[in-house]
Chains A and B, each alone.
Chain A
Amino acid sequence: MATNILMPALSPTMEEGTLAKWLVKEGDSVSSGDIIAEIETDKATMEFEAVDDGVIGRILVPEGTEGVKVNTPIAVLLEEGEEAGSTPDAAPEAAEAPATVPADATPTVPASAAPEATVPPMEEIPAGTSSKTQTVREALRDAMAEEMRASDDVFLMGEEVAQYQGAYKVSQGLLDEFGERRVIDTPITEHGFTGIAVGAAFAGLRPIVEFMTFNFAMQAMDQIINSAAKTRYMSGGQMNCPIVFRGPNGAAARVAAQHSQDYAAWYAHVPGLKVVQPYSAADAKGLLKSAIRDPNPVIFLENEILYGRSFEVPELDDFTVPIGRARIWREGSDVTIVSFGIGMTHALEAAEELAGEGISAEVIDLRSLRPIDYDTVLASVRKTNRCVTVEEGWPVASIGNHLSATIMQQAFDWLDAPVINVTGKDVPMPYAANLEKLALVTTAEVIEAVKSVTYRAGGL
Chain B
Amino acid sequence: MAARKTSGNKAARKQPAPDVSPNISRDELIEFYRQMLLIRRFEEKAGQLYGMGVIGGFCHLYIGQEAVVVGLEATAKDGDQRVTSYRDHGHMLACGMDPKGVMAELAGRETGYSRGKGGSMHMFSKEKNFYGGHGIVAAQVPIGAGLAFADKYRGNDNVSFTYFGDGAANQGQVYETFNMASLWKLPVIFVIENNKYAMGTAMQRSTSTPDIYHRGNAFGIPGEAVDGMDVLAVKEAGEKAVAHCRAGNGPYILEMQTYRYRGHSMSDPAKYRSREEVQKVREEKDPIDHVRDLLIGGKHASEDELKAIDKEIKATVNEAAKFAQSSPEPQEAELWTDVIA
Q: Footprint of B on A, CB under 8 Å?
A: 6, 8-12, 14, 32-33, 35, 41, 43-49, 51, 70-71, 93-96, 98-101, 106, 108-109, 114-115, 155, 181, 186-187, 189, 191-205, 222-223, 226-227, 231-240, 271-272, 274, 295-296
Contact = CB atoms under 8 A, between A and B. Distances in A.
A219 to B, nearest CB: 9
Interface string B52-66: 111011100000000
B118 interface: yes
Contacts of A237: 115, 337-338, 341
Interface string B305-339: 00000000000000001100111110111011111
A195 B269 contact: no
Given A233-B339, A235-B114, A235-B124, A106 B332 contact: yes
Contacts of A181: 153
Nearest to B126: A238
B143 A227 contact: yes
B341 to A, nearest CB: 4
B221 interface: no
Given A8-B52, A101-B332, A199-B147, A296 B340 contact: yes
B340 A99 contact: no
B329 A195 contact: no
20 contacts: A8-B50, A33-B261, A48-B51, A71-B53, A98-B54, A99-B325, A115-B336, A189-B179, A199-B145, A199-B148, A200-B153, A205-B149, A233-B117, A234-B118, A235-B124, A236-B112, A236-B116, A236-B338, A239-B132, A271-B339
B322 A239 contact: no
A49 to B, nearest CB: 8
B176 A193 contact: yes
Contact of A51 (B44, B53, B326, B328): B44
B173 interface: yes
Contact of B332 (A109, A195, A234): A109
A232 B53 CA distance: 27
Contacts of B49: 94
Interface stretch (B11-19, B70-78, B133-141, B237-245): B133-141
Nearest to A194: B142
B332 A236 contact: no
Contacts of A239: 124, 126, 131-132
B172 interface: yes
Given A10-B267, A232-B341, 19 more contacts: A49-B47, A51-B45, A71-B53, A94-B49, A98-B54, A114-B336, A181-B153, A191-B172, A192-B180, A195-B177, A196-B145, A199-B146, A205-B149, A205-B150, A227-B134, A233-B338, A236-B116, A239-B124, A239-B132
Nearest to A98: B329
A201 B149 CA distance: 10
Contacts of B81: 203
A200 B341 contact: no
B36 to A, nearest CB: 15
Which 10 pairs of residues, A with B, have the shortest CB-CB distance? Answer: A199-B146, A195-B142, A192-B176, A8-B51, A236-B115, A203-B150, A11-B267, A199-B143, A295-B341, A237-B338
Contact of B183 (A10, A70, A93, A187): A187
A264 B117 CA distance: 28
Contacts of B325: 93-94, 96, 98-99
Contacts of A271: 339-340
- Size bracket, chain B contacts: 35 or more
Contacts of B50: 8-9
Contacts, number: 225
B57 A12 contact: yes
Nearest to A225: B136
B51 A6 contact: yes
A240 B214 CA distance: 35
Contacts of B141: 195
B198 interface: no
Contact of B132 (A71, A204, A205, A235): A235
B176 A202 contact: no
Nearest to B173: A191
B331 A106 contact: yes
Given A71-B53, A202-B131, A237-B337, A10 B266 contact: yes
Nearest to B81: A203
B95 interface: no
Nearest to B174: A192
B61 to A, nearest CB: 11
B51 A195 contact: no
A203 to B, nearest CB: 4
B51 A98 contact: no
A222 B143 CA distance: 12
A95 B341 CA distance: 38
Nearest to A114: B336
A191 B153 contact: no
A186 B125 CA distance: 30
Interface string B197-224: 0000000000000000000000000000
B144 interface: yes
Contacts of A35: 275
A196 B135 CA distance: 17
A49 B279 CA distance: 13
Contacts of A235: 113-114, 118, 122-124, 132, 338
Contact of B269 (A44, A49, A189, A194): A44
Given A94-B321, A238-B114, A200 B338 contact: no
B329 A100 contact: yes
A40 to B, nearest CB: 10
A10 B51 contact: yes
B200 to A, nearest CB: 11
Given A202-B146, A238-B114, A187 B136 contact: no
